[in-house]
Structure 1
Amino acid sequence: MAKNKLKTLPNHLGIYIRVSTQQQANEGISTHEQRESGISKANLLGWTYTIYDDSAQSGSISYLDRPGMRQLMLDVDAGKLGGMFSVDIDRWSRDGKYEEPQIIISIFKSSGIKIFTPSGELNLQDPNIEFMSRIQGLTSSYYRIQTQIKIKRALVQSAKEGNAGGGPLLPYGYKKVKKLLVINPEEAKVVELIFKMYIDGKGTFVIADYLNMNKIPTRRNLIQNGQMTIKRGERRKANGEVIPEGKVIKSGDDFRWRDKTVLGMLKNPIYKGQRRYRELTVESPIIIDPIVFDTVQNLIEDKKHFREAPYSKSGATVNKFLLKGLIKCGQCGQSFYGKKELI
């Protein structure tokens, strides 16, 4: 960033807005209030102003990745601002590494711009005020880290106590009763069927097709009246056509069993009583006998090397293993599979 100390800066105020849901709920500092407070300050100074809005942007996100703060910093560097207003230093950054608040303060100091808050002006050229501002920046980062630790501890303890957690999409086969994770009998039968079919030699594609043909509902079909609204970003088709971002409603046949869904269930240890929660493993109600579950994991590992047909260097298919899963050993009952060799 360039130094603008010797430049004559314009009477133009940058008003920075950012608010977290928790901050807004606890202190009532809404984006509207921040905006009005900044505009009032600009009017009091007799300055023009520009608003830099990072609403719904977490302070843990780098200032380079927050559009409002990034543009403000660029304008500071270009000498377009004579001052900056925000309701508090903790709006600038809550970087978990304690670095960014200090970087931002250094940039503001070297630029020579004036810093305003509702409490008055922060003169960063004053060593005492600079020191206290840097301490406040450290405190903001520390507060965020401590809050994350407390939340994580609470969630882990809740999982240990058997609580199902938030959100409607619990693992298939389970439901929430008085906040506890319990077995859903009807869905548990489907889980057992999936494991049985796989042990009997059926692949994940075959199992998914069977579930779809027999109209066995997915988890998405069972909640929210079978509808889900998703937000998609801008996409580009292979032909170059641009599909703008927007909301898409999915329902009915959009929610079908997929081979990846089946494979994910087959590999999820929650069904043998080991629920994964971040780095923690806690007990869960058992749907699949642990011996059966481990047998399936061995089958998955064995089949991993033969799931796709091998290809030659030219890209032509060499062998599709048409008899895959059809020929079995007369002694152990396991299926024979072809071996992939690249030509």
Structure 2
Amino acid sequence: MRKDVKRVAIYIRVSTYEQAQEGYSIDEQKERLVQYCKAMGWVVSEIYIDPGFSGSNLERPGLQKLIAEIKAYDSVLVYKLDRISRSQKDTMYLIEDVFLKNDVDFVSMSESFDTSTPFGRAAVGLLATFAQLERENIKERMTMGMKGRARKGYWKGTSRPPIGYDYKDGNLEVNDYEAMQIRELFTIAANGIPNMPYNVKNMARYLSKKYSNKYGNWTDSTGITYTIQNKVYIGMVKYKDEYFPGNHMPLIDNELFEKANSRLNAYLSSFGEHSTYTKYMLSGLTVCGICGRPYYR
């Protein structure tokens, strides 16, 4: 049950010199907020300060300490709403999941925003609506940006560029040593390995004995299948289910790509789930003396 005197935690943030010049300095905020508490008859229990921190995220020592100690207060007071966060999503998280969840009111002095009042609680709903709109707009801009990059021939860009390429300055650049491995992979996928049954595991064993790559070796059978099916090696880039001509150099020609995939697909169709995965240790090692195909159980 709450005491008659409201226990208030004051939160202050300043990120730049310009804000200090505009009247948001730490001392100025502190003085105004303390005076506001006196006028309201509230007790200032603690003041949390984050000097020189952006409001774009929640990774601020003062704010994290406030969150950890939130149960000790009845209200959190800020000078202005953007002092707590410049992200509507983060603002809603703090108000709904940190403050109100712990029965703590949130008050912004400048905007007269107070969740202890009916109007303040209604404003939370409006903020939630705008936060959702912001998230949708961000998602749409990201989608348009990624598709736009693909249309211009740029690879999507991740921390895991395809084997055979390095990702530098927004472009795929040929890694000569890995490119040699890719060409050999497509050759054995198209023509088979001499004196070895045609299967993905044998391709993995064959390449792993000879080469390594930026991700280790070639023991991942699923990765080999994905690599053979990846059109990046014939100079294409993909966004969702659409392909666009890429700016990077192809590692193989279309004829070899089609031949390798045609044979691989025929093999995958014949063996289904057993083509890349085996349950038993000797699966795929015992072969038929007549047709040369491996046995699976």
Same structural fold, with TM-score higher than 0.5 when normalized by the shorter chain: yes
- Partner secondary structure for residue 219 of structure 1: coil
Cα distance in structure 2, aligned partners of 1:265 and 1:92: 42
Q: What is aligned with 1:338?
A: 295
Residue 146 (structure 1) shift: 0.6
Cα distance in structure 1, aligned partners of 2:164 and 2:289: 32
Q: What is aligned with 2:165?
A: 174
User: How do residues 1-343 of structure 1 correspond to structure 2 at under 5 angstroms?
Assistant: 7-8=3-4, 10-13=6-9, 15=11, 45=37, 47-49=44-46, 71=68, 75=71, 80-85=72-77, 88=81, 91=85, 94-95=88-89, 103=96, 107=100, 111=103, 113-116=105-108, 119=110, 121-166=112-157, 169-175=160-166, 179-181=170-172, 187-198=178-189, 199-200=192-193, 201=197, 203-214=199-210, 216-219=211-214, 255-260=216-221, 261-271=223-233, 275-278=237-240, 280-284=242-246, 285=250, 287=252, 288-303=256-271, 304-305=273-274, 307-310=277-280, 320=283, 322-324=285-287, 327=289, 329=291, 335-340=292-297
Maintained 8 Å contact 1:52/1:71: no
Deviations 1:76-125 (A, max 9, x none): xxxx31211455368397459xx9688569937x94735135x3642335
Residue 13 (structure 1) shift: 0.9
Deviations 1:23-59 (A, max 9, x none): x79x989xxx999998777765462227599x99987
Cα distance in structure 2, aligned partners of 1:36 and 1:264: 59
- Partner secondary structure for residue 163 of structure 2: coil
Cα distance in structure 1, aligned partners of 2:27 and 2:261: 60
Amino acid at match of 1:91: S
- Partner secondary structure for residue 238 of structure 2: strand
Cα distance in structure 2, aligned partners of 1:202 and 1:47: 76
Cα distance in structure 1, aligned partners of 2:204 and 2:293: 22
Maintained 8 Å contact 2:164/2:182: yes
Cα distance in structure 2, aligned partners of 1:196 and 1:176: 25
CA distance change for structure 1 residues 298 and 35 in 2, over 3 Å: closer, same or farther?
farther
Larger radius of gyration: 2
Maintained 8 Å contact 1:93/1:100: no
Cα distance in structure 2, aligned partners of 1:267 and 1:56: 44
Cα distance in structure 1, aligned partners of 2:5 and 2:261: 69
Maintained 8 Å contact 1:208/1:257: yes
* Unpaired segments ≥5 residues, structure 2: 38-42, 59-63
CA distance change for structure 1 residues 180 and 133 in 2, over 3 Å: closer, same or farther?
same
Give the structure with the larger helix fraction. Answer: 2
* Unpaired segments ≥5 residues, structure 1: 61-66, 221-254, 311-316, 330-334
Cα distance in structure 2, aligned partners of 1:203 and 1:323: 12
Cα distance in structure 2, aligned partners of 1:28 and 1:209: 62
Maintained 8 Å contact 2:88/2:127: no
Cα distance in structure 1, aligned partners of 2:49 and 2:219: 44
Residue 143 (structure 1) shift: 1.9
- Partner secondary structure for residue 182 of structure 2: helix
- Partner secondary structure for residue 164 of structure 1: coil
Amino acid at match of 2:270: D
- Partner secondary structure for residue 282 of structure 1: strand
Residue 141 (structure 1) shift: 2.8
CA distance change for structure 1 residues 182 and 130 in 2, over 3 Å: closer, same or farther?
same
Deviations 1:141-192 (A, max 9, x none): 3123212211220121111211134456421223568745465565333112
CA distance change for structure 1 residues 193 and 149 in 2, over 3 Å: closer, same or farther?
same
Cα distance in structure 1, aligned partners of 2:104 and 2:170: 55
CA distance change for structure 1 residues 138 and 305 in 2, over 3 Å: closer, same or farther?
same
Percent of pairs with identical residues: 13
Cα distance in structure 2, aligned partners of 1:294 and 1:127: 67
